Amino acid sequence: CNDEVNSKVSFQSPLNVTVDQPTGIRSPVEQNSNRQHFIPRKYPFVKVIQKGTNNDNSECHDLKDQHNEKVELHYDISTLNLLGFIETPEDQIIRDEGYRSHAFNVLISDRLGYHRALPDNRHPNCQSKIYSTKLPRASVIICFYNEAPSALLRTVHSVLDRTPAFLLQEILLVDDNSDLDNLSCQIEAYVKNNLHKVRYMRTATRQGLIRARMYGANQAEGEVLVFLDSHCEVNTDWLQPLLTRIIDNRVNVVVPVIDIINADTMELQNSPLVVGGFNWGLHFRWDQLPVHVRDNPDVASNPVKSPTMAGGLFAMDRSYYFELGEYDSGMDIWGGENLELSFRIWQCGGRLEIVPCSHVGHIFRKRRPYGSYGEGDTMLKNSLRVANVWMDDYKKYFYKQRQQPTDVSYGDISDRVALRKRLHCKSFEWYLSNVYPEQVLPNSEGVAPAVIHPPEKRLKTKVLRKGQIVHTTSGLCVQGEKDIYAKRSMLILQHCGQAGKEKKYQIWHETVDSELILASVLCLDVESKEQGHSFARLMKCHGSKGSQAWVWTKKSGVSLLYNPATGKCLKATNKSKRIYLTFDICQDNTDMAFEMSVQ
């Protein structure tokens, strides 16, 4: 075992800057909606001079400083090297190999080293909070399988650097039997020689992240367990607000805001405050906060309840973790455990919250870089266990969604069923109506009709006006193709309903944020090109304008509905015997004449 990692100089990044490359950054919300949303940004120019020279023919690069102010900064050559501006052919090999093995830019990660300064992303109200000194000590459990050493050790050091020592019992580094070169050896040696508060341990065989976490938790000594992925960076005062909530009530399980570390640039991007949900395929997704919650000024700095969690980053009282049944050890490698734990917490008397004053960055990779040793689709097997233990009759929606997963063997669940009984856990029905009333059910055609709160009630404060959107040329009205509650549904023109259901399904709400909302959560949105057309679709409202912001405008007297983000206007297009709504360059054209008939 060579000490390569050991001998590498570990250094403090001198600057709070990050490199920008021409890539967009996707927030958790946008990632989930399968659309890439590019945010144009402007950076101040930074003048580059080589150290030791007075060379004024220096190159200029666009960089961003921490506060995004217009400043001229002078960087020396080693800083440029750190930021990835200088690349040798060897560097390119590191980068390419890094993408192959880890699915992110390992070259920049290596250059950042094990410590770097981060912008304090918290809401100003959080920055002035004072936390009790009588908080419990935490054991931080970080499981890893074939992680890039620089990302792993930066995770560890960020915890050591940004956690008050008296609150940190230990860090448990659980190596899930990594088999990449001599990675395990390097990490073990580095920990032994440098890090006293860290305990390195290795599973005898690959366990998968669920059993690896159980293995770590079993050896933890702190009063609170904190789980982190192996490619995270914790931010200022990240732990105190989590521990505070657990002290308030030991059944609170708490999750930080998960900021985005860009996989290509390692740039840290603040995430909006969103909560966890799921779809009927049992995939985790981010949900917007219900509007009445989002509008409350206290929300930005106070805990908010969340129906589910993403899974990787959370804190929980240690005795409560065991009392609640650890994890389901029948689950393999990856997937499903996050919803299992979320359902279990809520159904068995606990509470799951997002704590906005705690921020932790996580590298969002474009793919999962490791396999599952021929264990197949572990997510499907694990989800079948979740459905059969926790979801009662509602599991039928998952089965339907998955299409014939019935013959997949998901092992023995009797222990977990017994656990549910022993803890007197509530039904899934209770969970849906009390914790996740925003969730909609698929109907018999596989789309969602469920009754959620009437739009008027939920949107009251934000609605400017409501009414049917009429195509003035034909006198027809805009509505969803299948059902008003179906996400991704295309939009069509139909006879304008005069009353009842027909009319209700055509009532749009125009909000102060320029959204056009049908039902209470679905927004008029632009879908990227399909078969030559950009179709209008109903997408979950994300609240960040862009493709969901609409402006009524006039061209030569014709009233048009214009989307500034794409520069296009709503258009009626005949296709397969229906009139679909698409988008095109705005013209004073009869296809594009729309008006809102205000109610």
Q: Tell me how crowded residue 188 is: count the other CB atoms within 10 A of its CB.
A: 18
Least distance CB 230 / Mn ion (angstroms): 7
Give the nearer residue to ligand LR7 in terms of CB position, either 44 or 369.
369
Name the H helices within 24-145: 28-32, 77-82, 89-102, 106-112, 124-127
The beta-strand segments (E) located in 23-167 are 45-48, 60-64, 74-75, 138-144
Q: Is 259 in the site for ligand LR7 (CB under 6 A)?
A: no
Least distance CB 365 / ligand LR7 (angstroms): 7
Partners of 516 in the beta sheet?
510
Q: Is 233 in the site for ligand LR7 (CB under 6 A)?
A: no
Give the nearer residue to ligand LR7 in terms of CB position, either 109 or 230.
230
The entry of Mn ion, ligand LR7, none that residue 176 binds, CB within 5 to 8 Å by partner kind: ligand LR7
- Between the CA atoms of 206, 285, 272 and 119, what dihedral angle is there, to the nearest 10 degrees? 10
Nearest to 239 by CA among 302, 342, 159: 159
HSE-CB for 45 with a 13 A CA cutoff = 6
Q: Is 287 in the site for ligand LR7 (CB under 6 A)?
A: no
- Between the CA atoms of 578, 584, 587 and 591, what dihedral angle is there, to the nearest 10 degrees? 0
The entry of ligand LR7, Mn ion, none that residue 307 binds, CB within 5 to 8 Å by partner kind: none
3-state secondary structure 310-336: CCCCEEEEHHHHHHCCCCCCCCCCCCC
Least distance CB 150 / ligand LR7 (angstroms): 14
Give the nearer residue to Mn ion in terms of CB position, either 211 or 482.
211
Q: How many residues bind ligand LR7 (CB under 6 A)?
A: 24
User: CB-based contacts of 300: which residues, under 8 Å, 6+ apart?
Assistant: 123, 125, 273, 356
The entry of Mn ion, ligand LR7, none that residue 575 binds, CB within 5 to 8 Å by partner kind: none
Site string for ligand LR7, 324-363 (x = CB under 6 A): ---------xxx-xx-----------------------x-
Query: Which of the stretches 143-151, 421-429, 536-544, 554-562 binds ligand LR7 when contact is defined by CB under 6 A?
Result: 143-151
Query: Which of the stretches 10-18, 41-49, 101-109, 207-215 binds ligand LR7 when contact is defined by CB under 6 A?
Result: 207-215
Q: Which of 216, 277, 311, 546 binds ligand LR7 (CB under 6 A)?
A: 311
Tokens at 136, concatenated: 């419990």
Tokens at 178, concatenated: 């990594």
Q: Is 110 in the site for ligand LR7 (CB under 6 A)?
A: no
Nearest to 209 by CA among 197, 200, 217: 217
Q: Is 308 in the site for ligand LR7 (CB under 6 A)?
A: no
Give the nearer residue to Mn ion in terms of CB position, either 229 or 259.
229
Partners of 581 in the beta sheet?
572
Least distance CB 71 / Mn ion (angstroms): 34
Q: Is 366 in the site for ligand LR7 (CB under 6 A)?
A: no
Measured CA to CA, the distance from residue 569 to residue 586 in angstroms comes to: 5
Q: What is the chain's Cα-based Rg?
A: 26
The entry of ligand LR7, Mn ion, none that residue 581 binds, CB within 5 to 8 Å by partner kind: none
Positions that interact with ligand LR7 (CB under 6 A): 28, 143-145, 147, 176, 206, 208-209, 212, 229-230, 258, 310-313, 333-335, 337-338, 362, 368
